[in-house]
Structure 1
């Protein structure tokens, strides 16, 4: 029997545990907080639940446009027709996160994984100490996660100044929320809280929000922010944040002062790799503290693997889970397909959402690859018209010679649900004609994907030649 010890119960850890147990290993998973990790307890599940509430508000606000009336014959919908009980929203958030964590725990125990609550320390390349008890391991997986980055002078207090893990204690909607950081986390929370009814100021160090996303997609989100009345301060950095009587004061590096009722610090994350005993096991970390791994999740130390946010590879729950599964398959001698980040689909849960997969246009230009772009607005789509969707688009990048789909971007409501066929196309090297020739339901939002692909048919003669 092979002994596997997994440190950390997030997606990288619990998915690895299930794979290892299915392969016949004796598996012990050590977790100090709760099963699911940040993804379930403080990050993905909670934040997306809040965002889902905000999304329902936008749907309700369109009711009047769709001809929906209340029992008195009055039009329903509109910004003044709905209010949010944030205490009730956050109570639901906590309840859903706890239930998901419990479901994961029950699944692991049902499959025969031993779950140990405690703090783990590596004492050698093959031993893990948990609160004084030593576990021997033939293979170790480190799924240590990450935590919010704290800037000096901007320390959170959990009452007026928050990290994204602390917002769920709020019982009332902030009067004026200042969000520092315009990456994915900052943009998502800023958009959600503005839609819920809070006044929001978003401080962005760059000229635009969501600097790592497709520029046109990011611009669409920023335009929607402006349309909803959000203030975005570009080219600004927070030098300090302090709680004052009844609110917060944010001082920018250029001397400007922004005052609000609350502040969310969303300036990245740092890995939980200190005080774990990595040096005792000979595990290398990079200059930022992330554990260095290869494409099958191996560290430099024999028999020790790592997965998830602590590796800094790509901080997505789906990537963490894939890294964990790959690690256990490799450790236990199963067939392994190394991680390929070009196949990763990601989604920004703003309103509208941004979903993307494969190469970006900037990637293609930098690599000198010949490509063409097909872009179609969702507003042309009959299903979108029925649903009152007026904004968003589908963009596909096709190889000029082979017709292969190299990457894609979808912007619109529930874009994360629409990217999957394009993910299949990128993963399995399908061409624009492969996608265009597949049936879509009429009417459906997916029809725009097929039409966008169809418009690239003339790139090739079908046999890979011009």
Structure 2
């Protein structure tokens, strides 16, 4: 068995692994990354964020074309099947892989393809394609192996009519109907994607409302617009069993309800990719969700082994994972880190329309007895939204009634995930720099969606006087 030695070995090349590897390489360390897949990028690039968002973009473009009055005479000629739209994502994935591999090469990070398993706390055995093995030794390790869809043992995922968020991307046709079990981020995104393709969608939620951690008004708007697209939403349901046949699949719920459709998409939970890594043998036992316990510096019970991203638990976002990786890289290289990760990070949910928020919700502020006011701008009154035809949505700012400090930003509508960052930048300022007056005392390009901040701020201040 060939042997190699490095300062740090990163297991996984998703956002968390990439962030750690780049930071360590720039600090002058000898770094290797081990990737089980045949290309770098992790699940984010190949099965999650990139393909699903590229798919969503293609569907949005198709919807915009069909809605545009300039093309009414030809819109009936445009037919797009699910696999056609998926192929549009292939170019994006290839470009992402090439870009990321170039980063590793430029920074002299060695990329090793194969499955990693700990031999002891400082050594890995990597089984490479073809069956050869390589032994790697390092002073530090970063576990950034990501997660996969949770698959309960009683569900037959081998049946072609039963899919998860990974295997749904291999559908070879557009189904006539689909039941999505689980109404978290993934479930809601795919519900809006399939509804936009005129697929009959049942969205079965195990909780009493959609995305309950978001502001209530935002989730109410999402529920309304999903229903407007034809999605049937059922709350507080739990699956009892799944019945499959050549003609369809039936989801049986404990309430007695049954949903028969062409396809079942199981979107209820994810589990960390920590199996068969030899972690238990070196004293690191993942929890029931495949995650490793870490401290504030993302160190496991073995301080020289770190975990970032999905395997470290919430928030399990690509953006946060990358920052965790950079934080860990600095911590390993310097023995400490002189900066900390932000506590209030933005969430982006790519439904149609999309959602993004940062900061606290009305529910949280009310529970904390913080005197707040609401500032709101409806997109239907924004000139840029009228030009593009994306008039559904709103920007909602929550601010302190006395200090005018911005406490929360919630956006629903086209470009929400971009718009939210303007407010996030102001929220991060200290003292008087973080007030809603910033938006009334600055000049925005016109017409832009950013102008919604000025409209909302004026609306909010008018509520005070």
TM-score by shorter chain over 0.5: yes
Does the residue aligned with 1:137 lie in a helix, a strand or coil? strand
Equivalent positions of 1:31-50 (< 5 A) are: 31-33=35-37, 34-50=39-55
Partners of 1:121 and 1:128 within 8 A in 2: yes
Partners of 1:377 and 1:393 within 8 A in 2: yes
Q: Does 1:337 align with 2:344?
A: no
**Cα distance change, pair 152–286 in 1 and its aligned pair in 2 (3 A):** closer
1:81 CA drift (Å): 5.8
Deviates more, 1:37-46 or 1:397-406: 397-406
Q: Does 1:403 align with 2:407?
A: no
1:459 CA drift (Å): 8.7
Match of 1:464 in 2: none
Determine the C-alpha separation between the residues in 2 that align with 1:56 and 1:446: 22
Determine the C-alpha separation between the residues in 1 that align with 2:283 and 2:428: 35
Q: Does 1:23 align with 2:23?
A: no
Mind listing any 5+ residue stretches in structure 2 that lack a counterpart?
A: 128-132
Query: Of residues 421, 435, 449 in structure 1, which corresponds to 2:453?
Result: 449
Match of 1:297 in 2: 298
Partners of 1:425 and 1:435 within 8 A in 2: no
Match of 1:144 in 2: 145
Determine the C-alpha separation between the residues in 1 that align with 2:94 and 2:46: 7
Equivalent positions of 1:320-335 (< 5 A) are: 320-333=321-334, 335=337
Query: Of residues 39, 52, 74 in structure 1, which corresponds to 2:57?
Result: 52
**Cα distance change, pair 287–176 in 1 and its aligned pair in 2 (3 A):** closer
Determine the C-alpha separation between the residues in 1 that align with 2:215 and 2:77: 34
Partners of 1:239 and 1:251 within 8 A in 2: yes
1:203 CA drift (Å): 1.1
Equivalent positions of 1:30-429 (< 5 A) are: 30-33=34-37, 34-64=39-69, 68-69=70-71, 74=73, 77=75, 82-131=78-127, 132-157=133-158, 159-283=160-284, 285-286=286-287, 288-333=289-334, 335-342=337-344, 344-429=345-430
State TM-score, norm by structure 1.
Answer: 0.91
Does the residue aligned with 1:97 lie in a helix, a strand or coil? helix
Mind listing any 5+ residue stretches in structure 1 that lack a counterpart?
A: 462-466
Deviations 1:230-286 (A, max 9, x none): 222222222222321222111111222211111100001011123222234433644
1:2 CA drift (Å): 7.1
1:204 CA drift (Å): 1.4
Partners of 2:184 and 2:210 within 8 A in 1: yes
Partners of 2:241 and 2:253 within 8 A in 1: yes
Determine the C-alpha separation between the residues in 1 that align with 2:47 and 2:159: 14
**Cα distance change, pair 158–453 in 1 and its aligned pair in 2 (3 A):** farther
